[in-house]
Structure 1
Amino acid sequence: MEDALKLEQDGEIARLTIDRPEKGNMLTLEMLDYLSALIIDAGCDPDIKAISLTSVGDDFCLGRDPDGAPEKAPKNGIEMREALTAPILGFYDAVRSAEIPVVATVQGRAAGFGCAAAAVCDVTVAADDARFSLPEMKHDLPPTAAISAHIDRSMPKSVAWMVYSTDEVDAQTALSAGFVSHVVPAGDLYDRSTEVLSTITSRNRTSLETCKTYLANSRLMETPQASDYAANILALVMSSKK
């Protein structure tokens, strides 16, 4: 598994690389659990300020690898949730709960889980020829897990049409929908990603943690509560710097 998912520390950046180009960088459920653990561990490392998620080959990630399904079929809904859905949702939760920003760099196609993974990351840099899709409804499979990754990232109507139509959308459309941060020429993708990561790591880690925490928690609040929370969390950080 270490051959398919690689972790390297590059200064203050934890670089996670999916290396399964022969499989379109699809991930088994076991690999998803492992990737989530790597993200959680990197996020807790006080020497790390940003996590980079990239992949090798033509495509970012074509989704979940069906060859990694459990040998025994789940007997009921509870077992199905635990065996099939929990690893996927666990990845989304790992990204959201990581103390520091997770930056995805997307080339080629990002389909199904791959599209959701790109969306759930805090910052997503995409090549101008990248393509995103949620194709599950071609098989009448409601992609509710993938939709959950988009809930706090994307324009609802944009995601709804991606789900119903199963159409691929280009990087500019993904940018307009809100789940891509930057679109750059394919030849400049990794240079721009490096610039983004350098900008993030130039910041104080506590300040990065505070921004991510506020962005995650305030979206569920009414405006007065979000304002109070902003004042309180800022005061706490400022007082701790004295």
Structure 2
Amino acid sequence: MMSPPLSRNSNISIQFHQGGNMSNEIIVKQEGPILHITLNRPDDGNGVTDPMAREFTALINQAHESCEMVVLRGAGKDFCVGRAVFTAPGSPNAIPEAYARRAAYDVIFDAYWAVRRSPVPIVGVIQGRAMGFGLAVAALCDVSFAGDAATFNIPEMAHNIMPTMVMSSIFDRMNRNAIAWMTYSTDFINAERALQYGIVSTVVPAAKLESEVAAFCDKMANTPRPAIRGLKEYLRVAPSMDAQGGIDYARNIHAVVNTAAEMKGKHRK
């Protein structure tokens, strides 16, 4: 079920039912044109349950209706240590056949697709560990800030799990050799190597992480909306085109965006 539309300057806590307890596992806060989404399971490294992934997807899919950018964080010391898979009481231990499991896998693929397709930029704020799903989302964000103590890994192969879910999110972000090394070795890499691999956009001292993000958001808030959305659209679409298509599309979007009224006057706060 989709969440209700978000209004500006609203504070919303999304609740999930897990194991009979109610907990605020995703926190959503609207500050003017910015929607802040925080994964909020700090005691478990912000491991993402399937209900969380569904709600995350819904939030990202509707974000453009009420905001100009999304800032994504994890509560506590880690960004996200990957998926948190629970077995319901009384459920059989047998692993379902592939077709039956596909719906469960699609929860994650849908989340990745939502981040890719979002019309508004998504900014990742990465601290501590970013593993599996966490690494994938960090790489999919349009801009990711990593604290200098952040670490990244793809652990699936160590658990006899084919890592193609994560790989589907990074095949066009990282080079082939980097993907192969991370998936086969399952080793952690530091933030500087994550920057070299294309997982994050910039690395800053951990103590300055929030101030650097705030400064970037202020700059974005003073950039005309057509430019922000047009740039994201071009970066999303052009890589799948041949060279001529990419050039032609650049010509068209250049003309459309630069003649928009908001590009000619002072941008609203």
Match of 1:32 among 48, 53, 58: 53
How do 1:1-242 and structure 2 match up within 5 A? 2=15, 3-45=24-66, 48-67=67-86, 71=91, 75-83=96-104, 85-241=105-261
Is the 2:135–2:199 contact (alpha carbons within 8 Å) kept by the matching residues of 1? no
What is the alpha-carbon distance in structure 2 between the residues aligned to residue 34 and residue 69 of structure 1?
Answer: 19
Name the aligned partner's letter for residue 53 of structure 2. Answer: L
Matched pairs, number: 239
CA distance in 1, matches of 2:213, 2:118: 19
Worse-superposed segment, 35-44 or 211-220: 35-44
SS in 2 for 1:43: helix
* Change over 3 Å in CA distance of 1:124–1:68 after alignment to 2: farther
* TM-score under structure 2 length normalisation: 0.84
**Higher RCO (Cα < 8 Å, 6 or more apart):** 1
User: Which residue identity does 1:150 align to in structure 2?
Assistant: I
Q: Which has the larger radius of gyration?
A: 2
The one-letter amino acid of 2:50's match is: L
Q: How far did residue 180 of structure 1 move?
A: 0.6
Q: Which moved more, 1:166-175 or 1:138-147?
A: 138-147
User: CA 1:97–1:56 in 2, change beyond 3 Å: closer, same or farther?
Assistant: same
- Structure 2: any 5+ residue segments left out of the alignment? 1-13, 16-23, 265-269
CA distance in 1, matches of 2:258, 2:88: 48
Pick which of 200-209 and 50-59 moved more.
200-209
In the TM superposition, residue 76 of structure 1 has moved relative to its aligned partner by 2.8
Q: CA deviation at 1:239?
A: 3.9
**Structure 1 unaligned residues grouped into runs of 5+:** none
Greater mean alpha carbon deviation, residues 141-150 or residues 63-72: 63-72
- Whether contact under 8 Å (1:44, 1:99) holds in the other structure is no
Amino acid in the other structure paired with 1:180: V
Contact 1:16 1:52 in 2 (8 A): yes
Q: Find the aligned partners of 2:46 and 2:121 in 1 and give their Cα distance.
A: 22
How far apart are the structure 2 equivalents of 1:230 and 1:212?
Answer: 12
**More helix as a share of residues:** 1
SS at match of 1:64: coil
Letter in 2 for 1:89: F
Give the TM-score taking structure 1 as reference length.
0.93
Overall identity of the aligned pairs, in %: 38
Check whether the contact 2:130–2:150 (CA below 8 A) recurs between aligned residues: yes
Q: Is the 8 A contact 2:152 2:191 kept in 1?
A: yes
